[in-house]
Structure 1
Amino acid sequence: MPPAPAVIDAEVWPGVARPPAGMKAQVAGRAADALFRAAVRRLPLRVEYPDGTVLGAGGAEEPVMTMVRPADFAVRIGDNGLIGLGESFMAGDWEAPDLAGVLEVFASSVDTLIPVPLQKLRSLYLPRAPRQERNTEQNTRGNISRHYDLSNELFANFLDSTMSYSAALFPASAGQLAEAGWDALAGAQQAKIDRLLDKAGVGEGTRLLEIGTGWGELALRAAARGATVHTVTLSSEQQALAQQRIAEAGFSGQVTVGLQDYRAVEGEYDAVVSVEMIEAVGYDYWPVYFQTIDRVLAPGGKVAIQAITMPHGRMLATRNAYTWVHKYIFPGGFLPSVRAIESVTEQHTTLRVRERRGMGDHYAATLRLWEERFLQRGQEVRELGFDEVFRRMWLFYLCYSRAGFQSGYLDVQQIVLDRREAQL
């Protein structure tokens, strides 16, 4: 666990350096404290306060949340809801030896943490997404850059040798995934990629479009099959490293890496593959994302995407929400439901979903390994210039994500689409 920051730079971390102040914040904090204490009393959790108070329905074996500055925690929650939960952890207002375990308890109870009458009022006081974070062609480059251009070295410190930043597919049953170790991760990432390439029919002579390059592993494996690959990204850092890896592997003649918005892609392709890119598209732009794929896909072509998904009802309820993840990790992002993908493609394209496989438990295992590696590489991350607030933020992000998959609140799907007519 990264230590609590001794001093927080208010210019770098304006939402974290100081808790909200003023009468309004104090009133909201008292209300939030009462709601939080009432909620945790029925959860399988132990919340320990400095005065010795212990709340929660859990026993000694349940995850522990230790309050360091409960008053600061309360005003942050009262002022900013779940954004305040993350910011209070970044500030060191609370600790948890098993952070993912604590967050999993909250994720499992997300629909009941706040009384239903108050849930209906959330839109009146919680923040809305800034207009500059909508994924227009003008804004998207900046949104992507804020995450993926942080530093290739940062990502290399917790990703495996394939530099794959998406769910792996382990050769293990659900019961064995908890035992999956670091040595299995690179092979599991390649297995994930190979399954997508197989489903898209990628082989010798295939003209492949990849939307979302990452650091080039999928393009490399497709080129090794004999495909010609055009892959696009909006991250200059990713483009540079992907081009380097492709050149070192001897595939520069088969692969082009474009610094390009997916909407600007031209040409015709036998297959389109996109791994965990739709999450960055934004709710309003899903039709144009799939219309672009439909436009460039050759007759008889296939599409294989990997997408993080959420339940349809939660998707509808949160599509206008501005969350901690938006503010600190993925500006402009939003997770689709499977039903939304099916609906958008049916209404706006000639594409149809033909096959899908859920593998959320594999993502939980992937995130566990990233989290362990990130914590092991704490000194290396610090030497790159990332402070303790950043390190706590990144840990919260990894654990927050893992909790979503462990609780079943999130899933990840490999989805195959094509234009085949429905069979009579």
Structure 2
Amino acid sequence: MTTIPSRTRSAWPDLDVVPSGRRADVAAPIARKIFHAAVKRLPVTVRDGGDVIGLGGPTMTVRRPAEFYRRVGHDGLIGFGEAYLTGAWDAEDLGGFLTVLAAEMPRLVPGWMQKLRKVYVQRPPSMHRNTTSNTRDNIAHHYDLSNDLFGLFLDETLSYSSALFDTSVTRVVADGRRHLVAAPPEAADEPLAEAQARKIERLLDRAGVGEGTRVLEIGTGWGELAVRAARRGATVHSVTLSSEQLELAEARVAEAGFSDRVEIALCDYRKVEGEYDAIVSVEMVEAVGHEYWSTYFRTIDRLLAPGGRVGIQAITMPHDRMLATRQTYTWINKYIFPGGFLPSVQAIDEIVTADTSLRISDRLSFGRHYAATLQRWDETFAAAHEEVARLGFDETFERMWHFYLEYSRAGFASGYLDVQQLTFERTTS
């Protein structure tokens, strides 16, 4: 086995050695051939030993080719990300390079290989399935890292979801249905806290939150939405599975003077009881797992009072890619969000139509706003390098977090991913 540079600590066992054995021996040259074939037709510059490949654009440098191709050949996209964590490759403009790849994602791998996907890719481990016994551990893996860490790169609202910048909105028709699309933020120089407030207030407006409204929030975050709902005169029951978020959210609610209006509970959404005039959830459905989407929406349908409305902000992906990847274990699953999976709007629509009395009544798409939000987060995180180190996070963690933020930004900047605010109402028939 080939040992990688000593800076990688034992906290990262899968990075300690480069894949070896017959599978890696066979897969490495195949991975090199496929990678070269893919990037040579793209607007990028890849420096791989003495080879310079691509049509020109954001530069990637393969620093340790043998390791890079063994990791990619052995573990696919997980290996691609892990090779970045170990420094086997690097990029000056990581987000720019990944954006080019994300735009070509469905076509990067030859068609004949895509047909073998089920044989080659790893399946999600059973412990990541979001059963009532597993879900809390999955959530804790990410959200209980450290409130102080998140505070280093989020704005003062502590909103860990896409902001909505002040841009024009147009109405478009797609799949025979009309929905709203927010124009991309040109410079995104608006204070992030203002754009985050706009996102929250719009969702509360669509859900009909006002004086006397009984609100259920699924996924508390750090309490900003609950505080804003209470400020409107609503009473809020918010549920979370993150003990770290619960502690800080309760403190922020108390500081805002709304402890009498907001109750936060460490509780699985499936166990919530009661009746609510408005149900809101911001970027939580992605953590549910596709096996439980029906359960999630049926729970909301059960808890919604007559005449009530639902406001959900969700990260989405194209339906065909969702179908192709729903049994795939990804780098994001392994390192960032165990058990997570992104729905498509079509999947959500089909589930609520088949399993609930809910129907989508309003939809706003603003994916490019997420790209701008992620870029702000990454720049702020990079500037906080010394503070991150003081919190006890090592260099590998910093590379992982940078890769996560830029990998995500690339998805939205390329249009491969989107973020939606969806309003649901009950059918009248």
Question: In percent, how many aligned pairs have the same letter?
Answer: 59
Aligned counterpart, 1:340: 347
Question: Which of the numbers 219, 234, 240 marks the counterpart of 2:241?
Answer: 234
Aligned counterpart, 1:365: 372
Question: Which of the numbers 270, 276, 280 marks the counterpart of 1:269?
Answer: 276
1:348-387, aligned counterparts within 5 Å? 348-387=355-394
Aligned counterpart, 2:297: 290
Aligned counterpart, 2:263: 256
User: How much has 1:410 moved relative to structure 2?
Assistant: 0.4
Aligned counterpart, 1:63: 58
1:20 aligns with 2:19: yes
**Counterpart AA for 2:364:** R
Question: Which of the numbers 83, 101, 105 marks the counterpart of 1:106?
Answer: 101
Rounded Cα–Cα distance in structure 2 between residues aligned with 1:281 and 1:111: 25
Aligned counterpart, 2:157: 162
Using the size of structure 1 for normalisation, the TM-score is: 0.95
User: How much has 1:5 moved relative to structure 2?
Assistant: 7.0
Aligned counterpart, 1:401: 408
Provide structure 2 residue ranges, at least 5 long, that are not aligned to the other structure: 169-181
The question of whether the paired residues in 2 share the 8 Å contact of 1:223 and 1:254 is answered with yes
Rounded Cα–Cα distance in structure 1 between residues aligned with 2:16 and 2:277: 51
Aligned counterpart, 2:331: 324
**Counterpart AA for 1:7:** R
User: How much has 1:176 moved relative to structure 2?
Assistant: 6.6
Aligned counterpart, 1:391: 398
**Counterpart AA for 1:167:** S
Rounded Cα–Cα distance in structure 1 between residues aligned with 2:106 and 2:233: 49
Rounded Cα–Cα distance in structure 2 between residues aligned with 1:175 and 1:145: 35
The question of whether the paired residues in 2 share the 8 Å contact of 1:5 and 1:389 is answered with no
The question of whether the paired residues in 2 share the 8 Å contact of 1:353 and 1:415 is answered with yes
The question of whether the paired residues in 1 share the 8 Å contact of 2:183 and 2:366 is answered with no
Provide structure 1 residue ranges, at least 5 long, that are not aligned to the other structure: none
1:35-46, aligned counterparts within 5 Å? 35-46=34-45
Rounded Cα–Cα distance in structure 2 between residues aligned with 1:385 and 1:47: 34
The question of whether the paired residues in 2 share the 8 Å contact of 1:67 and 1:94 is answered with yes
Q: Residue deviations 1:312-355, cap 9 Å, x none?
A: 11101111011000000000001000011110001111111111
User: How much has 1:207 moved relative to structure 2?
Assistant: 0.3
- Aligned to 1:54, the other structure's residue is in SS state strand
1:421 aligns with 2:421: no
- Aligned to 1:195, the other structure's residue is in SS state helix
Using the size of structure 2 for normalisation, the TM-score is: 0.94
User: How much has 1:103 moved relative to structure 2?
Assistant: 0.6
Aligned counterpart, 1:191: 198
- Give the paired residue count: 413
Cα RMSD (Å): 1.3
List, as ranges, runs of 4+ consecutive aligned residues in structure 1 with deviation greater than 3 Å: 173-176
Rounded Cα–Cα distance in structure 2 between residues aligned with 1:315 and 1:291: 21
Aligned counterpart, 1:314: 321
**Counterpart AA for 2:188:** A
The question of whether the paired residues in 1 share the 8 Å contact of 2:184 and 2:366 is answered with no
The question of whether the paired residues in 2 share the 8 Å contact of 1:178 and 1:365 is answered with no
The question of whether the paired residues in 2 share the 8 Å contact of 1:149 and 1:238 is answered with yes
Aligned counterpart, 2:89: 94
User: How much has 1:16 moved relative to structure 2?
Assistant: 1.5
User: How much has 1:73 moved relative to structure 2?
Assistant: 0.5
Rounded Cα–Cα distance in structure 1 between residues aligned with 2:222 and 2:247: 9
Aligned counterpart, 1:177: 185
Rounded Cα–Cα distance in structure 2 between residues aligned with 1:176 and 1:339: 23
The question of whether the paired residues in 1 share the 8 Å contact of 2:281 and 2:311 is answered with yes
**Counterpart AA for 1:29:** A
The question of whether the paired residues in 1 share the 8 Å contact of 2:164 and 2:366 is answered with yes
User: How much has 1:177 moved relative to structure 2?
Assistant: 2.1
User: How much has 1:178 moved relative to structure 2?
Assistant: 4.4
User: How much has 1:17 moved relative to structure 2?
Assistant: 2.0
The question of whether the paired residues in 2 share the 8 Å contact of 1:209 and 1:229 is answered with yes
CA separation of 1:5/1:20 partners in 2, compared to 1, >3 Å: closer, same or farther?
A: closer
Question: Which of the numbers 116, 125, 132 marks the counterpart of 1:121?
Answer: 116
The question of whether the paired residues in 1 share the 8 Å contact of 2:184 and 2:369 is answered with no
The question of whether the paired residues in 1 share the 8 Å contact of 2:84 and 2:90 is answered with yes
Rounded Cα–Cα distance in structure 1 between residues aligned with 2:6 and 2:151: 27
